[in-house]
């Protein structure tokens, strides 16, 4: 189990590193084509980072407000608090804020910029439908997100996506205003420049590729959280049983939105009928691995 956690961490580090490199390359290319040079990429990264990190800093408050989460009363939700405290002892983390969301769909999320400023929220649906060990498994998964600094990782990914999108957007507008001419050096006399074509392709495809990479990272972190959760509880059947219940449950979470989708334990939006080629294309953008896959991975432990 320790090995699985370590290899997961290694793989996600490689993914994030690769992502940054790819984004920088794409961004640099777009910047070059647009005539902004390296400054274009730099400015885009700075702006995107500023926006992303502002939201990251306040991520706990924002995510909770958006989902209408309320603090869980320690008396009314004794079992919930007890389970969280037990897991905090096991992980050595300080106890995060515990919140409850009125929603019949079973789901949970974790947020917060670091373990000292973290929060966990569960829906009333989850509390009703899960027994003790299952609830503990879900809470362990959420706590693992906090422990592994997944909010930071996903903020990094969002920053990169934002930078590329920003740059691409500005470039397209610049081209539009310039009447199709991209380079500031004026028209070239020496014929067709192939780099410009590549640049155009990247302009369109760049943001999409960045999003796909972001989703891949998100899925990898979800798997890491699953395995870390089992390392915390030393009891995989708990989380397995919870995931099975989630798989069989069809209620849709209303308190979620596309913006917060990646934080929840289960994809809140009902999947578009995942049939055919278009279905597998959609799968690239899934923030969570399919439940069946998660369950069979945990069964191997």
Footprint of other proteins (CB under 8 A): 78-79, 82-83, 85-87, 89-92, 234
Backbone angles phi, psi at 240, to 5 degrees: -60, -50
Q: How far is the CB of 78 from other proteins (least distance, A)?
A: 6
What is the C-alpha to C-alpha distance for residues 174 and 148, in angstroms, rounded to an integer? Answer: 41
Q: How far is the CB of 26 from other proteins (least distance, A)?
A: 32
Question: 11: which 2 tokens?
Answer: 């793989």
Give the up-direction half-sphere exposure of residue 22: CA atoms within 13 A in the CB hemisphere: 19
Catalytic site residue from 134, 136, 142, 222:
142
Rg of the chain on CA atoms, in Å: 22
What is the sign of the dihedral through the CA atoms of 234, 8, 279 and 63?
A: positive
Question: 237: which 2 tokens?
Answer: 């059947």
142 as an active site residue: the answer is yes
Q: Which residues contact 209 (CB under 8 A, 6 or more apart)?
A: 22, 26
Alpha-carbon 93 to chain mean position: 22
Say if residues 115 and 93 touch (Cβ distance below 8 Å): yes
- Is residue 190 helix, strand or coil? coil
Catalytic residues: 142
């Amino acid at each position: 189990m320790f090995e699985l956690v370590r290899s997961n961490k290694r793989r996600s580090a490689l993914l994030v590193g690769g992502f940054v490199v790819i984004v920088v390359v794409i961004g640099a290319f777009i910047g070059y084509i647009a005539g902004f040079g390296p400054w274009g990429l730099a400015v885009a990264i700075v702006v995107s980072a500023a926006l992303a990190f502002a939201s990251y800093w306040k991520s706990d408050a924002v995510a909770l407000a958006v989902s209408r989460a309320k603090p869980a009363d320690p008396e009314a939700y004794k079992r919930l608090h007890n389970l969280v405290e037990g897991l905090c002892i096991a992980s050595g983390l300080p106890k995060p804020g515990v919140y409850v969301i009125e929603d019949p769909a079973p789901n949970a999320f974790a947020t917060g910029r670091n373990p000292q400023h973290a929060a966990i929220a569960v829906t009333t649906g989850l509390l009703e439908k899960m027994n003790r060990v299952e609830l503990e498994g879900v809470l362990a998964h959420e706590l693992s997100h906090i422990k592994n600094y997944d909010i930071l990782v996903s903020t990094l990914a969002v920053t990169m996506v934002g930078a590329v999108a920003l740059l691409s957007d500005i470039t397209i507008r610049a081209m539009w205003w310039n009447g199709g001419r991209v380079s500031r050096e004026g028209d070239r006399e020496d014929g067709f420049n192939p780099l410009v074509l590549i640049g155009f392709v990247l302009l369109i495809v760049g943001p999409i590729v960045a999003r796909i990479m972001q989703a891949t990272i998100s899925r990898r972190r979800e798997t890491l959280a699953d395995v870390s959760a089992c390392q915390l509880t030393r009891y995989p059947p708990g989380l397995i049983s919870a995931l099975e219940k989630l798989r069989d449950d069809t209620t849709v979470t209303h308190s979620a939105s596309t913006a917060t989708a990646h934080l929840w334990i289960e994809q809140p939006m009902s999947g578009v009928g995942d049939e055919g080629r278009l279905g597998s294309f959609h799968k690239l953008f899934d923030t969570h691995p399919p439940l069946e896959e998660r369950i069979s991975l945990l069964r191997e432990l």
